[in-house]
């Protein structure tokens, strides 16, 4: 029994490790243009959102991962509360695929997936290397479940245990058990997949399994609720909505449980398949009920949790394709989008700098999400400028096109440096490093100068002002001189053993990134200076 218990626990560990690593790998791989394309579809209609959540959950192999990402995107202001609900509903459908694969015994093929994935991971290049890594973790998920299956197989030879499993228990106890297990392991797939495996050995009945399935679905909301603790009002609304969706589904399905089971038994004689179908139909019922009611449901939740947050569009707002026929109007569209891109960077700067002294993991994630917007705008502005260049342009307009492309590139690079500062802040927080009072004061003065340059560079996109351009140049010289002075002060504190040894490299790197932000502001001022008119 001890050997079987250890084998069972090993299977669970491999499952969880594979799931978390697969989710992280896919997030890293799709955090760029593809993920942005998927979420671009989600804001069109709720049905597109359902499809987005479904696809994302299949890729992540975890509805909890999709829910947490959605809460983060809503909290960062990249998706509004209404459109996030479709993604949440789609994620609930997507999570049923994993259980169905267990029913089809893909666990038997898991060693092949692991071997092939590892070979591709080791020998592959570029995208095939990433495909091999994802395939390896995907196989590891189901290999873990195969170990669980091996650990539970001997139980069928114990009549007393079989009788215990088959006895109909209090359905509410089943709901509670499923909820608690899912809340702890942060995956509904584990308890439901284990039920499927037990059913394959005739150790459970559909009557005793379904309440656990319902509870496991309710437990998936716990992860999103935890993620929402540090989210803004819209992030909290999304997490609450996820919980209400699941709670409504549990109440309805438990109320009609005697009528819920016969259709499942009619469709399939296999208890394992019945459990998978029950999992699917439970989530399908939730989608059918709430998709038509999302508008009034949104209003209800907004009344329960009043407040408002600005939504930051992930995509360009001013790059009108119709204006391409007139270069003058097209350049005005670009100028307005540059103003917006600078506004986004300003917001990113404020949140990134705040992390230095007041670190919050959710706010660092917001900075990461906002950087996605900055990168997207840089790409879309570049594409739009290429479309303008297809027609013959005058020398002045050609120069304007080139300089505008340089400006959007400088703005994007400012975002990169802000993101680097947020990562340094995370390192500082994780290692429990603190700056001295003198270092904090020096850094605050330095940040103020850089922030002033950033604001004035942004104002130049709206109106060319030679006085402001001269101020930026003069301030940049002051920042360069101050950077050297602050480094010398840090060395003095280091030699006097006043500051923490690990604080120095982080402090110096922050100075470097801030100085480079100012460099890009100077570049933008030079570009605007070279233009005859905006």
* Domain CATH code at residue 412: 1.20.58.220
pTM for this model (two decimals): 0.71
pLDDT at 479 (0 to 100):
95
Does some domain include residue 260? yes
Q: Is the pLDDT of residue 408 over 90?
A: yes
Does some domain include residue 310? no
**Mean pLDDT over residues 238-243, rounded?**
87
**Same domain, residue pair 291 and 353:** no
Domain that holds residue 258: 2-304
Does some domain include residue 315? no
Domain boundary (270, 304, 338) is at: 304
Model confidence pLDDT, tens digit, residues 113-125: 888 888 888 887 7
**Mean pLDDT over residues 23-48, rounded?**
62
Residue tagged 């030079």 (tokens):
526
**Same domain, residue pair 300 and 332:** no
10 Å Cβ neighbour count for 505?
Answer: 13
How many angstroms separate the CA atoms of 513 and 489, rounded?
18
How many H helices and E strands in the chain? Answer: 22, 0
Q: Is the pLDDT of residue 77 over 90?
A: no
**Same domain, residue pair 31 and 151:** yes
User: With helix as H, strand as E and coil as C, how does 61-102 read?
Assistant: CCHHHHHHHHHHHHHCCCCCHHHHHHHHHHHHHHCHHHHHHH
pLDDT at 310 (0 to 100):
64
Question: How many domains, in total, are found in the chain?
Answer: 2
Question: What are phi and psi for residue 165, nearest 5 degrees?
Answer: -65, -35
Q: How confident is the model at residue 136 (pLDDT cuts 50, 70, 90)?
A: confident
Model confidence pLDDT, tens digit, residues 141-200: 888 878 877 777 676 565 555 554 455 467 888 888 888 888 877 777 788 888 888 888
Domain boundary (278, 304, 330) is at: 304
10 Å Cβ neighbour count for 516?
Answer: 16
Does some domain include residue 286? yes
**Same domain, residue pair 279 and 388:** no
**Same domain, residue pair 207 and 122:** yes
Model confidence pLDDT, tens digit, residues 506-522: 999 999 999 999 999 99
Does some domain include residue 129? yes
Q: Is the pLDDT of residue 496 over 50?
A: yes
Question: What are phi and psi for residue 529, nearest 5 degrees?
Answer: -60, -35
For residue 467, what are its two tokens?
């006085």
CB 415 within 8 A of CB 371: yes
CB 410 within 8 A of CB 457: no
Does some domain include residue 297? yes
**Mean pLDDT over residues 132-146, rounded?**
82
pLDDT at 502 (0 to 100):
79
Q: How confident is the model at residue 397 (pLDDT cuts 50, 70, 90)?
A: confident
pLDDT at 168 (0 to 100):
46
Does some domain include residue 314? no
**Same domain, residue pair 328 and 294:** no
Q: What share of the chain is helix, strand, coil (3-state, %, to 5)?
A: 85, 0, 15
CB 118 within 8 A of CB 139: no
**Same domain, residue pair 332 and 215:** no
Q: Which of 296, 345, 337, 368 is nearest to 75 (CA)?
A: 368
**Same domain, residue pair 26 and 125:** yes
Does some domain include residue 254? yes
Looking at the chain, the whole-number percentage of residues with pLDDT higher than 90 is 30
**Same domain, residue pair 30 and 170:** yes
**Same domain, residue pair 290 and 330:** no
Domain boundary (277, 304, 331) is at: 304
pLDDT at 221 (0 to 100):
83
**Same domain, residue pair 417 and 474:** yes
For residue 178, what are its two tokens?
């499923």
Residue tagged 């499927």 (tokens):
196
**Same domain, residue pair 273 and 386:** no
């Amino acid at each position: 029994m001890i050997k079987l218990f250890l084998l069972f626990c090993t299977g669970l560990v491999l499952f969880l490790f594979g799931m978390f690593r697969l989710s992280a790998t896919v997030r890293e791989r799709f955090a760029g243009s593809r993920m942005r394309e998927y979420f671009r579809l989600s804001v069109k209609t709720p049905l597109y959102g359902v499809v987005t959540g479904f696809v994302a959950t299949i890729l992540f192999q975890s509805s909890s991962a999709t829910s947490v990402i959605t809460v983060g995107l809503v909290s960062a202001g990249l998706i509004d509360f209404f459109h996030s609900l479709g993604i949440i509903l789609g994620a609930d459908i997507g999570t049923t695929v994993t259980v169905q694969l267990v029913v089809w015994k893909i666990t038997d093929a898991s060693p092949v997936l692991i071997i092939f994935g590892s070979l591709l991971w080791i020998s592959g290049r570029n995208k095939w290397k990433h495909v091999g890594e994802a395939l390896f973790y995907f196989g590891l998920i189901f290999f873990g479940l195969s170990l669980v299956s091996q650990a539970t197989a001997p139980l069928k030879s114990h009549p007393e245990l079989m009788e215990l499993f088959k006895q109909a228990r209090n359905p509410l106890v089943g709901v509670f058990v499923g909820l608690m297990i899912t809340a702890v392991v942060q995956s509904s797939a584990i308890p439901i997949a284990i039920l499927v495996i037990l059913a394959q050995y005739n150790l459970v009945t559909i009557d005793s399994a379904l309440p656990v399935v319902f509870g496991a679905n309710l437990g998936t909301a716990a992860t999103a609720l935890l993620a929402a603790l540090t989210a803004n009002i819209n992030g909290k609304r999304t997490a609450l909505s996820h919980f209400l969706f699941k709670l409504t589904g549990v109440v309805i399905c438990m109320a009609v449980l005697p009528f819920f089971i016969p259709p499942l038994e009619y469709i399939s004689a296999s208890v394992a398949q019945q459990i998978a179908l029950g999992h699917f139909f439970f989530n399908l019922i939730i989608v059918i009920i709430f998709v038509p009611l999302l508008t009034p449901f949104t209003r209800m939740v907004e009344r329960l949790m009043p407040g408002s947050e600005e939504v930051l569009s992930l995509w360009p707002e001013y790059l009108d394709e119709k204006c391409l026929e007139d270069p003058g109007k097209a350049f005005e569209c670009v100028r307005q989008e540059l103003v917006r891109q600078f506004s986004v960077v300003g917001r990113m700067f404020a949140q990134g700098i705040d992390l230095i002294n007041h670190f919050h993991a959710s706010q660092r994630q917001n900075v990461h999400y906002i950087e996605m917007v900055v990168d997207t705008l840089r790409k879309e502005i570049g594409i739009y400028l290429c479309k303008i260049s297809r027609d013959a342009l005058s020398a002045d307009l050609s120069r304007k096109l080139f300089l505008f492309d340089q400006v959007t590139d400088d703005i994007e690079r400012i975002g990169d440096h802000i993101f680097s500062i947020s990562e340094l802040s995370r390192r500082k927080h994780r290692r429990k490093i603190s700056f001295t009072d003198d270092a904090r004061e020096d850094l605050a003065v330095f940040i103020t100068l850089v922030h002033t340059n950033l604001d004035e560079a942004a104002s130049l996109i709206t109106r060319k002002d030679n006085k402001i351009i001269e101020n930026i140049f003069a301030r940049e010289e002051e920042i360069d001189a101050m950077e050297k002075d602050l480094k010398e002060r840090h060395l003095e504190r280091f030699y006097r053993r006043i500051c923490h040894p690990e604080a120095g490299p982080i402090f110096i790197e922050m100075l470097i990134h801030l100085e480079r932000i100012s460099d890009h502001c100077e570049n933008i001022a030079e570009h605007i200076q070279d233009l005859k008119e905006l």
